[in-house]
Structure 1
Amino acid sequence: MQAMRYDITLPTDYDMTIIRDRVMKTGYLMDGFKGLLFKLFLISEKKNGDYYNSYSPLYIWKNSEGMSQFIFDGYFDNILRSFGWQHIEIGVTSSIELSDDFTQSQFMTEEKQDILPTDTLKNFDIHEKATEGETGKVVIYNPDKWQKVIFTFYLTKPQTELRCFEILHLSNGEN
């Protein structure tokens, strides 16, 4: 599985109801998308104590065919037309742990960890387990950047120093 994400930084005075309305009107269009495990429509808002305003969707793909279809068959063009050229981050999914109430998640944190140079990667842990109060955890790694990223999901907003996103909508892919 692969993870795909783009982080669209928006001005501090940007009216975030524009994004909320956009997701409310069109988020369902990703439901049942071929090759998709799930997509989270994420935002952060400076006024709520976040680092900055952003629209930052996270996709977990079952295969690269669905991801390629999304990018190159016109679906990503909606982002390009609305927000301009975007850098898409791609990572290899190393572990996914989702609880029964994962689909009720309202918030997600992102923790980035550098994978430092070493003479062996044999014992490097690319997995994480969800703990109490968490509805799931997805771990990806990116050998191009030598980085491990941990996405953790919650029903309520956690008290944390990590970057935190509000989940506006969750689309489940094809069954």
Structure 2
Amino acid sequence: MQYELTLPADYDMTVIERRVAERGSATDAFPHLGLKAYAVRRIGRHGSPVNAYAPFYLWHDPAGMNAFLYGPFRAIVTDFGRPAVRHWVGAAFHRGPAFGEQPVFLTRRRVPLPADVLPGDALDGQLEPPAARAGLHSEAVAVDPDRWELLRVTLWTAAPARPDPGVTGFDVLHASTPHLERLATGRLW
């Protein structure tokens, strides 16, 4: 799941940094949560045209997501209004060589699945583990069956020197990983 709050170009991003520093640990033991990456984009950094606050979550089950959305999420709604929350169906999760380290960067790629290919066939070759690269923490692959869109989120222990074309990069200010080691790995069906 991810929501993205696009902020004004002149927004003081230290407000978000302080918010995460003060409140980020609140999800460090959240039930059913595999990962919450407190992700941000800053104008001009990693090619970003916008400032944004865009936390990304991996849940063990919908109960955790529901408990969050109908509980602690009220702080976001109160401070910023109610954003659209994107959520996808997990298709694969892979650990990288740096899985035991703290992720500090996230890349996101969204790709439409071809309309003329059966959904399962469109996923062929998309669910394999990523090539082992220095700093690769983990990768999640998911599908939005409303938009028939593939999502690939990769966590890194350092920002890649040159992110792949077509990806959006986010700095991770804090990562809550209370049950990350319990996330199922490999293809999820």
Does structure 1 residue 150 correspond to structure 2 residue 155? no
Letter matched to residue 38 of structure 2:
F
CA-CA distance at 1:116 after TM superposition: 1.7
User: Counterparts of 1:85 and 1:146 in 2: how far apart (Å)?
Assistant: 24
Q: Distance in 2 between matches of 1:157 and 1:171?
A: 18
What is the SS of the residue equivalent to 2:10?
Answer: coil
Per-residue deviation, 1:38: 1.0
Q: Give the equivalent residue in structure 1 for 2:30.
A: 33
Between the aligned partners of 1:77 and 1:111, the Cα distance in structure 2 is: 28
AA at the equivalent of 2:77: L
For structure 2, the 5+ residue unaligned runs are: 183-189
1:167 equivalent in structure 2: 172
TM-fit CA distance, 1:85: 1.4
- TM-score where L is the length of structure 2: 0.84
8 Å CA contact 2:96, 2:139 repeated in 1: no
Paired residue for 2:41? 44
Question: What amino acid sits opposite 1:168 in the alignment?
Answer: L
In structure 1, the residue matched to 2:18 is 21
Render the CA deviation track for 1:21-66: whole Å, top value 9, x for unaligned: 1101110100111111111000010032312100000011101111
Could you say which residue in structure 1 is the equivalent of 2:187? none
Q: CA deviation at 1:93?
A: 1.0
Partner residue of 1:105?
103
CA distance in 1 between partners of 2:119 and 2:18 (Å): 45
Structure holding more strand per residue:
1
Give the secondary structure class of the aligned counterpart of 1:66: helix
Show the counterpart of 2:141.
139
Helix, strand or coil for the counterpart of 2:68? helix
The correspondence of residues 67-86 of structure 1 with structure 2, limited to 5 A, is: 67-72=65-70, 74-86=71-83
CA distance in 2, matches of 1:173, 1:45: 27
Contact residue 39 and residue 54 of structure 2 kept, 8 A: yes
- RMSD (Å) for aligned C-alpha atoms: 1.6
Following TM superposition, by how much is the alpha carbon of 1:171 offset from its aligned partner in structure 2, in angstroms?
0.4
Q: Percent identity over the alignment?
A: 28
Q: Distance in 2 between matches of 1:80 and 1:9?
A: 14
Tell me how far apart the structure 2 counterparts of residues 119 and 58 of structure 1 sit (CA, whole Å).
29
Give distance in 2, aligned partners of 1:81 and 1:70. 14
TM-superposed CA distance for 1:81, in Å, is 0.8
SS in 2 for 1:150: strand
Task: State the shift of 1:144 in Å.
Answer: 0.5
Q: In 2, are the aligned partners of 1:99 and 1:135 still within 8 Å (CA)?
A: yes
Q: 1:13 to 1:128 in 2, by over 3 A?
A: farther
Q: Displaced runs of 4+ in structure 1, greater than 3 A?
A: none
1:100: how far off?
5.5
Q: Which amino acid aligns with 2:86?
A: E
Q: Unaligned 5+ residue runs, structure 1?
A: none
Between the aligned partners of 2:63 and 2:157, the Cα distance in structure 1 is 31
Post-superposition offset of 1:98? 1.9
